[in-house]
Homo-oligomer: A and B are copies of this chain.
């Protein structure tokens, strides 16, 4: 039953996550290893040609797939998902084709070296799997397996989609609890505690599957230890040296939080500007194929620029000494900077830094395996750009490596990455923002950490426990959290995700403070990214509580009546309505539902019975056996359910075009004016209605918490006077209407 389905969704999502991870890892290893080899053997030019051409090829393919086959697979898909779960229908987002395109395009985008990550698409893919698995049928693939038919209702579908999205996060980050919280905090608009337990299971299975396979295989090669979960393969950014937190640490943490909020706001702002600019440019182009070409050219342009920068920029920086460990007499001071010799006992560099064109030198280790002598050098910028984003973040998070990166390289990479990531995120390729966000945050976090080191010197954990918190790697972690928070404005889910991907609970409090500050500051500057994108994409989204601003002040909706915001007059149907009227109504309007009122003469008798949806009306019109003449006594209800439940509850019309033609016939042929349908058996009598004097705030809450699309407004005698829909409660709509009401009131006072 439901648990099996949750398990299946978790397993499939986990498997997809594993495949994605392995494919990306293979391709990017191939790319960067070869680039490094060309660089050392044949020089800069050939390396550039190789890196850029392979990147270009991948991006072109990935982008072309999206643009030509399925434009809805572009970007991360998160705003669409959030909009859908809030109650808006978005076309094509849950389609098998979208899943396939997204999968391939995401592999291409990430492995090509674009500043993107696989996490966002992974979430969308998870929800796609959730949507597809639970229905066990596909209109695109034309199959329909009669299992789990009882899940084919909107509520269960929505729940499984939420579960899939959560499983996507769980698989991408290896963070089951984080995934659950993410789905709860950001993705879903409706949530029950019962659901959270099932999603918990789903996330668990998903993480389990991904971890299990990732531990056993490396680049699809079996590692021999099936079932042993190696920490390094499933905790992405594992922190090795744990540090105790100090209260003084919260000063730079607050600075980082504020920076995160500001930079995050800037990022969102630039993103929106770019999205609008892109739309403006494309709308200027007339021909259809040129538009498409333009859309494909854009990511290609980005990859060329970014690949060039990645390969050539390191050449502008000097090589840095690999180690400052000098023990015994084997010193050779000329190969180190003077500062290195004076200050940095105890501070060293990671093993797997990027050499670029620097000399590997020789490394001599003493019997304790610590470095006795080394004149190995490495390139700082290459260590950040010459590999995948995730590896670069690991370098930035590394602790006890105070001088591994200096100011200039960090600043350079920060500026490059910030602009490029901002540009990429809106282009027509499947891409996620999480890795870039962490990367950018880690960069400026490390810069702040470096500032502290410059001011107070290197404090090692062994020599000075109380000051050991001054580690640039630690601040890189906090910075990453703050920028992620500043862009997405997530709170608790982000905290848990950061905790789960770094395995470092000791830094929980600083991370929380940074996220907190980033959200506070960020909320002053802009909307959160996903909500801003919802607006750009014109998806109506209802917040949990209404926030209406009129002339700079927020308005208390308790002081307004429902009738102030309702749409009126409203198209109503009588409980016994002529065929031609219904057909005409369906043709004239695009509303999704209509209130049904009691048949009767005169305006006094418009008692509200319930609601009927457009689809139900259409289905009824298609079945002419329902039609009856005017004088048949409908009150007797001789054959109460002439249509069975399944037919009326159809998910969509089989042939909308034919239906429309039929309705035209109904309208034009006068004989249908005397044929009636008795709507009573089909009306949803459990459709809520509110009186017109109801406070607007309450109305909003009812519509939102009960997840309604329409809310009928009645007067004191239960007569229909208006209707409230989602769109009537959208911010700008409300602001307009309430502005008018306020103006009237002012008028009245004068």
Contacts and interface: CB of A to CB of B under 8 A. Distances in A.
Given A204-B512, A545-B192, A197 B519 contact: yes
A548 B657 CA distance: 45
Nearest to A245: B229
Interface in A171-229: 176-177, 180-181, 185, 192-194, 196-197, 200-201, 204, 207-208, 211-212, 225-229
A374 interface: no
Given A194-B545, A512-B204, A246 B227 contact: yes
B509 A194 contact: no
A505 B505 contact: yes
9 contacts: A200-B512, A226-B247, A231-B242, A496-B496, A503-B505, A701-B706, A705-B705, A716-B718, A717-B718
Contact of A228 (B225, B229, B246, B691): B246
The 5 closest A-B pairs by CB, nearest first: A227-B247, A229-B245, A718-B718, A686-B695, A686-B698
A29 interface: no
A466 interface: yes
Contacts of A508: 176-177, 500
Contacts of A200: 491-492, 495, 512, 516
A491 B193 CA distance: 10
A598 interface: yes
A152 interface: no
Given A208-B509, A246-B227, A506-B231, A688 B716 contact: no
Interface string A504-544: 01101100110010010000000000000000000000001
Copies in the complex: 2
A734 to B, nearest CB: 17
A693 interface: yes
Interface residues of A, number: 72
Interface in A97-134: none
A97 to B, nearest CB: 33
A465 interface: yes
Contacts of A499: 177, 499, 505
Contacts of A503: 505-506
A204 B607 CA distance: 54
B702 A598 contact: no
A338 to B, nearest CB: 32
Nearest to A207: B509
Interface in A540-564: 544-545
A244 interface: yes
A107 to B, nearest CB: 26
Interface in A233-255: 235, 242, 244-248
Contacts of A695: 685-686
Contact of A500 (B176, B225, B505): B505
A230 interface: yes
A260 to B, nearest CB: 16
Contacts of A583: none
Interface in A675-691: 685-686, 688-691
A694 interface: yes
Nearest to A506: B231
A691 B685 contact: yes
A259 interface: no
A79 B408 CA distance: 59
Contacts of A685: 691, 693-695
Contacts of A435: none
